[in-house]
A and B are shown apart, each in its own frame.
Chain A
Amino acid sequence: MSQTIATPPTVRLDTDVIGRPVSRPEGPAKVSGAAKYAAEFSVTGPLWYGYIVSSPIAKGKITKIYADEVLAIPGVQQVFSHENVPSLAWFDRSYKDQVAPGGSPFRPLHEPEIQFSQQPVAMVVAETFELARYAASVLRIEYDVDEFNTDLKAAASKSFDAPKGKTGFLPPPKPKGDMDAAYADAPHKVSGEYTHRAQMANPMEMFGTTIDWLGDGKKMKIYDKTQGAPNVQQYLTKIFGLSKEEARIISRFTGGGFGAGLRPQYQVFMAVLAALELEHSIRVVMDRSQMFSMGHRPHTIQNLRLAADDKGHLQALEHTALAETSQFEEETETVVNWSGIMYNSPNSKFDYQLTRIDVNTPADMRAPGAATGSFAIESAIDEMAYAAGVDPLDFRLLNYTYEDPTENKPFSSKRLDACYHEGAARFGWEQRTPEPRSMRDGNMLVGWGMAAGCWDASTQKAAAKAILHADGTLVVNSATNDQGAGTYVIMTQVAAQTLGLPMAQVKFNLGDTEFPEAPIQGGSWTANSVGTAVQNACQEVGKKLLKLAQDMDDSPLKGVDFEDVQFANGCLRANEDVSRSVAITDILAASGEAKIEADGKAGPNPANLLKYSMHSHNAVFVEVKVDEDLGTVHVTRVVDAVAAGRILNPKTARSQVLGGVVWGISMALMEEAYLNNDLGRYVNHNYAEYHIPVNADIKKIDVIFVEEEDHIASAIGVKGVGEVGMLGVAAAICNAVYHATGKRVRELPLTIDKLL
């Protein structure tokens, strides 16, 4: 090799797009109204509409449905209820989706029994939406009402250990030392009960399904709002005995999910039922009140006891939780474990119990379990720091752990310390005066608070297919999802960089069960899992390209191994001498191939799982201003410093964290699905009375990504950002309110009445 290297490998190449803040390729479709969501697809032939009728009672039995009255209205096609649903799959297992918890899944329209308020009891199908809605409103139904209980505290005596079985659920860590003795002996101790009520994911797009009845046997195109098309397909094929070809699920755009779309929702069941029975295209959309009838973040009561020595070292840590579940399933979250992962205490005890009330089964909602747990532990740590007379940031640094105390394994990476330092510097934490009520801005009390969080970095099984065409365009397909997380853009980046093509030449498709299977979008695992599968598929195409390049006459790449080549700026070239280069389109032209295809897969690495504890981390710093007379709390400034491994796209990753902070503010100050225990019903089931932030509620949010890359957690170095940004925000706000006012509020949402 006599040539000097024309382009040193350190020079950033045009097609090295990973890590750049590029805009979403689907952005123009979203801002112009061209992006089609589930309830917006046209069908072949006329479309009928289904409108769902919900139960007004929490428990009992339907005794009569006056369907005839409604069927007499011209244009009404059918009224579906338990009275006329055909016999479907018999066993519970057919109704279990990929993320179903233990128990017996709810079967829509299966029987006259009512198990929760707003349970769907019927669906009216009519020729127009207006008619279906009207007919549903005049359908008379009679019920026998049974006694019910929706009060978690009233059911507390019947609590039981949360059963194992749900994917991803970790039972509480084992106890260490002698918690009670250590607590009794320690000089500084705190204890408290921390509560939040049920919260609803409430994505902007209501759950809906459009079915295009293709008139070819039972073949349907099912446009569904979901976070995982393959999960919906699996559910429907098992229940209705359909083939995958008959039940094709398409979900190109998902108008938010936040967990609500992990499990198939009942509107897709009802739409398929109606399409099959009527052999007709149909659209079924929930209304906003019905969005409160599905899974919710469970009402949870947590108790913490902490003790520390005079230097501020934790001596005792106890975290217990009691959460609601339904009468028929056991929804479990990992709630108490986070305390044990974040803080090392020689004496510790954990417990997590469920109890049954007459509501629908709760569900995973953004940062499930961790949002709950981090609110309690991070509030308690603040209280402990104050009790021990140590600055809350110093207290966390004093009790920092470099290995996961719950599993006695090292972390694959942990740069929480960098989050603390960089976040504190950006926020200006050192200017804080520690005494409550010591900072003011005019008539406003100013409070500065902080907290931290951690979330799993996990990889699931995923697959992708890459197809490189002769003109140099690359198409990559995977049945994954983009509920707004940025899947479209990061997968386009990964594919483009892997094969050295401009992003404009790469098209990533998702949300179609004709594509290779991918997991539901949840758990912050899409980037790790699907990203690795996409990279692998593109690398396989690359290997085929190298072989074809080496078959070319006078190939400059003869004898070069795949490890020694790079794909950049549309060329395949040798690392050691980039002048030994062939344009990718030239390789395809010389080969005569119209396209090159390859599959790629990803999955968890069992060896790494055994050896390491893999988590993303964050530290949050918050400023609140509290009007002393009115009790109003304004979050005026937030710094969220995140260590989430390699950041594929700082623009969209930042948006994820911004959203997480808004969710944290919402959880802290606003969200509560108000359960009226006399009615057994969430009574604020609309957007006006279920409060979430509006633009005026959100002020300055600063996002920091600390430098981190973790190739143990995933092949592409990523740990995921969907959940971690939200963690600790609610606690940091409560801690800031304490700093501002001297009042500890341990019950969310922190509304005015709790401060006055």
Chain B
Amino acid sequence: MSLHFTQEALDKTPPTIVPTQPVTLNVNGEDHTIQIAPWTSLLDALREYMDLTGTKKGCDHGQCGACTVLVDGKRINSCLALATVYQGKQIQTIEGLGSEDNLSPLQQAFVDHDAFQCGYCTPGQICSAQGLINEGRCKTEDEVREHLSGNLCRCGAYTNILSAVMEVLHDGQVVVDNGTLVTIPAQPSASSSVN
């Protein structure tokens, strides 16, 4: 067999490389101005241009959730987000939830329940769990499991992650802003009246 194969360029007509431009992102309450190309993902902007490496890259395809950050309180996959689009938004990363010396209740619960092993998916799990708490929809274990299922953990710490999140999300109360307990109004659905 003398088959010949050419690995063609994925993009046949190379576009003009668009020059970099200054982009200002508000991350954890602080403005950062960085010089990036427009095709830079929010994930790479954080990791490679701002040294905020707490946000992790596990797949770069929106499949694993390791890159989860909060934008205006809502969880997103930062690998599927172009950084320039997020100017003017409030971006919160794991570094903004609490620091090594001053952990948020959710971060502390993850430590207490050993809700991680290698720790690589952990910032994404915590940001996703914080987003879940902010959404205020989930109450039961099954609901939390389902709504945290966008975050893979190859070490298999799922049961401990669930315990940690349930501890913070208990009795219909949620923790916001590093420690304030806020009671969520009861959902008017039929299922929530049980228990």
* Chain A positions near chain B (C-beta within 8 angstroms): 23-24, 26-37, 39-40, 42, 53, 55-57, 60, 63, 73-75, 128-131, 134, 137-147, 202-206, 253-258, 285, 287-288, 483-486, 651-652, 654-656, 658-663, 666, 686-688, 692-698, 700-701
> Which residues of chain B come closer than 8 Å to A37, judged between CB atoms?
53, 56, 120
B58 in complex: contacting residue of A74, A143, A651, A687, CB < 8 Å: A687
Pair A696/B149 contact, Cβ less than 8 Å: yes
Pair B56/A205 contact, Cβ less than 8 Å: yes
Chain A's closest residue to B119 (CB) is: A30
Pair B119/A139 contact, Cβ less than 8 Å: no
The verdict on A145 contacting B114 (CB below 8 Å), with A256-B154, A258-B154, A687-B152 known, is: no
| Besides the known contacts A34-B99, A40-B53, A57-B5, 11 further A-B residue pairs in the complex with CB atoms under 8 A apart | A31-B108, A143-B7, A145-B4, A255-B120, A484-B119, A652-B117, A655-B155, A662-B156, A694-B158, A695-B149, A697-B149
| B84-111 Cβ-contact flags toward A at 8 Å (1 or 0) | 0000000001110111110100011011
B157 at the interface (CB under 8 A from A): yes
| B141-160 Cβ-contact flags toward A at 8 Å (1 or 0) | 01011101111111111111
B162 at the interface (CB under 8 A from A): yes
7 contacts between A and B (CB under 8 A): A42-B51, A56-B5, A253-B118, A288-B59, A658-B156, A662-B156, A696-B149
Pair A29/B100 contact, Cβ less than 8 Å: yes
Pair B63/A32 contact, Cβ less than 8 Å: no
Chain B's closest residue to A651 (CB) is: B114
The verdict on A73 contacting B54 (CB below 8 Å), with A687-B152, A698-B158 known, is: no
Chain B's closest residue to A208 (CB) is: B57
The verdict on A33 contacting B94 (CB below 8 Å), with A253-B118, A256-B120, A694-B152 known, is: yes
Chain A's closest residue to B9 (CB) is: A138
Pair B126/A31 contact, Cβ less than 8 Å: yes
Pair B3/A687 contact, Cβ less than 8 Å: no
Pair B6/A140 contact, Cβ less than 8 Å: yes
Pair A288/B37 contact, Cβ less than 8 Å: no
Pair B61/A698 contact, Cβ less than 8 Å: no
Pair B4/A142 contact, Cβ less than 8 Å: yes
The DSSP consensus for interface residues of chain B is loop
B9 to chain A, nearest CB (A): 4
Pair A147/B1 contact, Cβ less than 8 Å: yes
> Which residues of chain A come closer than 8 Å to B56, judged between CB atoms?
37, 204-205, 255
Taken together as a complex, chains A and B put the C-alpha atoms of A56 and B48 apart, in Å, by: 29
In this complex, how many residues of chain B approach chain A with their Cβ under 8 Å: the count is 77
Taken together as a complex, chains A and B put the C-alpha atoms of A130 and B82 apart, in Å, by: 12
Pair B120/A204 contact, Cβ less than 8 Å: yes
The verdict on A662 contacting B158 (CB below 8 Å), with A203-B118, A256-B120, A484-B119 known, is: yes
> Which residues of chain B come closer than 8 Å to A662, judged between CB atoms?
156, 158
Chain A's closest residue to B156 (CB) is: A662
Pair B117/A484 contact, Cβ less than 8 Å: yes
**Most chain B beta-carbon contacts within 10 A, residue among A139, A288, A656:** A288
Taken together as a complex, chains A and B put the C-alpha atoms of A106 and B86 apart, in Å, by: 44
> Which residues of chain B come closer than 8 Å to A255, judged between CB atoms?
56, 118-120
B154 to chain A, nearest CB (A): 5
The verdict on A485 contacting B117 (CB below 8 Å), with A142-B5, A145-B4, A204-B66 known, is: yes
A32 in complex: contacting residue of B6, B17, B103, B149, CB < 8 Å: B103
Taken together as a complex, chains A and B put the C-alpha atoms of A662 and B7 apart, in Å, by: 39
Pair A688/B44 contact, Cβ less than 8 Å: no
Taken together as a complex, chains A and B put the C-alpha atoms of A37 and B58 apart, in Å, by: 12
> Which residues of chain B come closer than 8 Å to A28, judged between CB atoms?
100-101, 103, 107, 111
